Amino acid sequence: MPSPIRRIAINTGGGDAPGLNAVIRAAAIAAANRGWECYGIREGFNGIFFPERYPEGGVIRLNRDRVRGIAHLGGTVLGTTNKGNPLHFPLKMPDGSVKEVDRSDEVLEFFAKKELDALISIGGDGSLTIANALSQKGLRVVGVPKTIDNDLDKTQTTFGFDTAVAFATECMDRLHSTAESHQRIMVVEVMGRYAGWIALHAGISGGAHAILIPEIPFNLEKVAAKIRERDTHGRLYSLVMVAEGAQPADGHRAVMAPAEVGHAERLGGIGEQVAQALQYLTGKDTRLVVLGHLLRGGSPTTFDRLAALRFGAAAVRALDEGQRGVMVALAFPNVKYVPLEEVAGRMKGVPMDSDTLLTGRDLGICFGD
Ligand code: F6P
């Protein structure tokens, strides 16, 4: 029998996503309803490593008052970081160089010292890989799948994705009229890392004429041919949706900043390349819109809010049932538990037999292949 739970901690890691606060609220209330104390660690694990940075301390009590009225708010009341991986922590050396150190034992020592019985870790691929490592070292951990990119395996969807897609679709709706009025090509670059989910879903929903995703290396001649064909039918404008991780069949992924110690590479810039090339190939006036971090902001949609509340409550239920080393996952109509080791380090891209992708092909959308 696992020891009973009295105190739990929650943290949010990696890029923020709409719905984080809803998870925090549901978990804190579900914990309080069991008589447990709930704490929030500030900015990933930084609250443990640098408590002096926070006026209220690096770990704050999440009582009912603290989580009141936050379910609809974007961002995270705890703060987050994608630079504080305890397994590969960047340590500045006296000579100015940066060395990578493993600080995961400090996390376990902190939990033991503060008599925290379990961690609910809300995050994407990076945070869940950390959660898995901490779990293997003996910490009682439950993960919650977050990311606008929807690139986590073993869950039907992550929270944050629906909000990002809804916003990108609305942007596409707005761009149709200006593109048509000026008979232009509009290129829209969206986030998504190495997966094309946001581009695919928003591109199809928003009426894109071409969609470029990392899973399908593209040839811009094919896209230009599609645009010329539309011109011959009097459709003198076109919308092209490009995922930041998309890459030409004969070229490279566009990287804005290379990986550093403790930080993954930053993608971005492919939209500019595509816009310039399409203007050259078609002779048509072309404009670029990069949606970037706008996709991460704002209130979660109802779908994301409910998924996040369900995940928060399910994470506490999982701990109550004695689960550890698992991630809560959507398996409609239910939430299930999957081992963290089946999720950590695995990316879910768009499969070539995806019904959504096939829908795009049936609609005559060009995927650049
Ligand atoms: O994983 C979420 C995400 O928004 C990706 O889509 C994007 O590549 C990355 O984070 C951007 O990170 P940052 O906020 O560090 O620019």
Interval 208-246: pLDDT, tens: 999 999 999 999 999 999 999 999 999 999 999 999 999
> Quick one: pLDDT at residue 1?
65
- Which amino acid, one-letter code, is at 185? I
Structure tokens, 204: 């199809």
| C-beta of 290 in contact with ligand 1 (< 6 A) | no
Q: Whose CA is nearest to atom 14 of ligand 1?
A: 15
pLDDT at 135 over 90: yes
What residues does CATH 3.40.50.450 cover in the chain? Answer: 7-159+300-342
Each residue's pLDDT tens digit, 9-56: 999 999 999 999 999 999 999 999 999 999 999 999 999 999 999 999
Q: Looking at the domain covering 7-159+300-342, what would its CATH class be? A: alpha beta
Q: Which of 149, 200, 265 to mutate to test the pocket of ligand 1 (most atoms within 8 A of CB)?
A: 149
> Quick one: pLDDT at residue 61?
98
Q: Which of 9, 42, 260, 258 is nearest to 114 (CA)?
A: 9
What residues does CATH 3.40.50.460 cover in the chain? Answer: 164-297
pLDDT band for position 92 (cuts 50, 70, 90)? confident
Each residue's pLDDT tens digit, 187-196: 999 999 999 9
The pTM of the whole model exceeds 0.85: yes
pLDDT band for position 163 (cuts 50, 70, 90)? very high
| C-beta of 80 in contact with ligand 1 (< 6 A) | no
Q: Which of 359, 364, 335, 365 is nearest to 154 (CA)?
A: 335
Percent of the chain with pLDDT over 70: 100
Q: Whose CA is nearest to atom 13 of ligand 1?
A: 15
| C-beta of 124 in contact with ligand 1 (< 6 A) | yes
pLDDT band for position 74 (cuts 50, 70, 90)? very high
| C-beta of 189 in contact with ligand 1 (< 6 A) | no
Q: How far is the CA of 362 from the centre of ligand 1 (A)?
A: 31
Over residues 62-84, the mean pLDDT reads 96
Residue by residue, what is the 3-state secondary structure of 129-170?
A: HHHHHHHHCCCCEEEEEECCCCCECCCCCCECHHHHHHHHHH
> Quick one: pLDDT at residue 2?
72
149 flagged as catalytic: yes
pLDDT band for position 262 (cuts 50, 70, 90)? confident
Q: Which of 191, 200, 265 to mutate to test the pocket of ligand 1 (most atoms within 8 A of CB)?
A: 191
3-state secondary structure of 334: strand
Structure tokens, 218: 């593209």
- Active-site residue (options: 16, 117, 125, 149): 149
Q: Which residues, 6+ apart, have CB-to-CB distance to 245 below 8 Å?
A: 192, 193, 194, 195, 196, 213, 214, 253, 267, 270
**Domain 164-297 CATH assignment equals 3.40.50.460:** yes
Each residue's pLDDT tens digit, 269-319: 999 999 999 999 999 999 999 999 999 999 999 999 999 999 999 999 999
